[in-house]
Structure 1
Amino acid sequence: MVSLVPSLTEAVAETLPGTLVGATDWCSHPADLDVTRVGGTKNPAVDRILALAPDLVIANEEENRAPDLDALRAGGVEVLVTVVRDVPQAFRELARVLTACGARSRPRWLDEAEETWSAPAPARPRTTVVVPIWRRPWMVLGGDTFAGDVLDRLGFENLYGTHPERYPRVPLQDLVDASPGLVVLPDEPYRFTAADGPEAFPGLSCALVSGRHLTWYGPSLAEAPRVLAEALRAVRR
């Protein structure tokens, strides 16, 4: 198998060790994954993947480009494309991928993660948030996104959650003028840090969070509510 999605790489490696023969350069978990690297999610080396002769390539409709997937199919490789827009869909797609990769039963971590997310959102006033994912230009989480659903289930209201675009470009001053209760700054895809991000939002509370726990849908889902809740409480001004 070859995985073109970091979340799915982690899920397959955790459940079926030794199954993967290739993964992208961005597949950072598990840290000791020893497979052929096949380039990025947006620019995979199709020839390198075909040379591995995988039984299956697992991909995602958002993270991977249709022309690359079409080229793999043209080369005779089966491609499974996932669609993940919310937490329940993530669990369904993970089960589908693992079954396609040869799992005979649901892994324990998947059941534990689903149980963790079965709890209702905290019964408290919902804090409004904006979630930049890039700067130069500034882009934020819009509507119909997995990460947006994660935050909603944790009791936060994304001020751009009803935007028709999934990742709209929004001028910085508009973000500041929206006066969110919290600016959520993940460390991927743009790597926001204490020195690169909070300074753009003077007077607003900012929380640096793990992009893996906010945007990945794999084994990290089991600990994501706790990790994100801790990070969102540790705000910066």
Structure 2
Amino acid sequence: MSLVPSLTEAIAATDAELLVGATDWCTHPAGLDVPRVGGTKWPDVARVRALEPDLVVANAEENRPEDVAALRDAGLFVWVTAPATVAQALGSLGRLCAVLGDPDPGWLGQARAAWVSPPALPAVRGVVPIWRRPWMVLGRDTFAGDVLARLGVVNVFAGSTDRYPKLAPGDLGGIEADLVVFPDEPYAFTPDDGPEAWPQARPVFVSGRHLTWYGPSLAEAPAVLTRQLGG
């Protein structure tokens, strides 16, 4: 059972028959036909328990601690992941695949190879909004921040005390950045919704799945994101 969209994709790519359920937000692979248990937040604990999974896979940021606790109180084994770097994500995925009975599936080998020496832009300073109302950006110690750093984007807020700093609208124009990187999730930024608040920097729009998911998408992420970041 997976409560994390990227790990649902990873498990399905390794052995789809192992999945007994997933969340409503688990959109990859397309056409995945498994029982759904609600969102990543507030999953239906009774529904999860009824499916009798041997293992529930969760994530420290995507899933609420109280939901993890409720699943464990129901007698389920819950594995919680929390990678903050590409290396940690690849290591975590390797351990998961080993538990699944295939420690080195083809997609994982491709993902590892893609990040040995990924293409990189000339170093640029970037800010990465992930939400507005209120504005929130990537701060310190995030997986997406490490992805971008490896591709040449230096996060302006990497030294923040917060992992996801909140910004007042009046503060945005004074932030020195070359790029504003707008992912399409969790907030669906568009050319008409986002760039107007950051006139000082070039806006670029990137695939949230390739920026924030850790799973099979990691094999494509360096090429996809570099192309999008280069404009």
How far apart, in 2, do the equivalents of 1:96 and 1:10 lie?
16
How far apart, in 1, do the equivalents of 2:118 and 2:55 lie?
36
**Matches for 1:27-66 after TM superposition, within 5 Å:** 27-66=26-65
Indicate the residue corresponding to 2:109 in structure 1: 111
What CA deviation, in whole Å up to 9, does each residue of 1:96-122 have, x standing for no partner? 11222x223311111111111111664
3-state SS in 2 of match to 1:3 = coil
How far apart, in 2, do the equivalents of 1:63 and 1:74 lie?
19
How far apart, in 2, do the equivalents of 1:204 and 1:67 lie?
40
Per-residue deviation, 1:173: 3.2
What CA deviation, in whole Å up to 9, does each residue of 1:43-75 have, x standing for no partner? 111111011111110011111111111111111
How far apart, in 2, do the equivalents of 1:22 and 1:196 lie?
35
How far apart, in 1, do the equivalents of 2:222 and 2:40 lie?
26
Indicate the residue corresponding to 2:192 in structure 1: 195
3-state SS in 2 of match to 1:92 = helix
Tell whether 2:153 aligns with 1:156.
Answer: yes
Per-residue deviation, 1:204: 2.4
Q: Is contact 1:58–1:97 with CA below 8 Å preserved after alignment?
A: no
How far apart, in 1, do the equivalents of 2:147 and 2:56 lie?
27
Per-residue deviation, 1:200: 2.1
How far apart, in 2, do the equivalents of 1:17 and 1:165 lie?
37
Indicate the residue corresponding to 2:72 in structure 1: 73
Per-residue deviation, 1:123: 7.5
May I ask how many residue pairs the two structures share in their alignment?
A: 231
Residue type of the alignment partner of 1:198:
P
How far apart, in 1, do the equivalents of 2:64 and 2:37 lie?
14
How far apart, in 1, do the equivalents of 2:200 and 2:161 lie?
28
Indicate the residue corresponding to 2:167 in structure 1: 170
Change (3 A) 1:227 1:188: same
How far apart, in 2, do the equivalents of 1:95 and 1:113 lie?
11
**Matches for 1:217-232 after TM superposition, within 5 Å:** 217-232=214-229
Indicate the residue corresponding to 1:23 in structure 2: 22
Q: Is contact 2:136–2:167 with CA below 8 Å preserved after alignment?
A: yes
Q: Is contact 1:133–1:189 with CA below 8 Å preserved after alignment?
A: yes
How far apart, in 2, do the equivalents of 1:123 and 1:211 lie?
19
Percent of residue pairs identical: 57
Indicate the residue corresponding to 1:94 in structure 2: 93
Change (3 A) 1:23 1:123: closer
Change (3 A) 1:123 1:168: closer
Per-residue deviation, 1:42: 1.6
Indicate the residue corresponding to 2:5 in structure 1: 6
3-state SS in 2 of match to 1:17 = helix
How far apart, in 2, do the equivalents of 1:231 and 1:145 lie?
20
How far apart, in 1, do the equivalents of 2:190 and 2:43 lie?
28
Q: CA RMSD of the aligned region, Å?
A: 1.3
Per-residue deviation, 1:188: 0.5
Q: Which runs of 5+ in 2 are unaligned?
A: none
Per-residue deviation, 1:203: 4.3
Q: Is contact 2:121–2:153 with CA below 8 Å preserved after alignment?
A: no
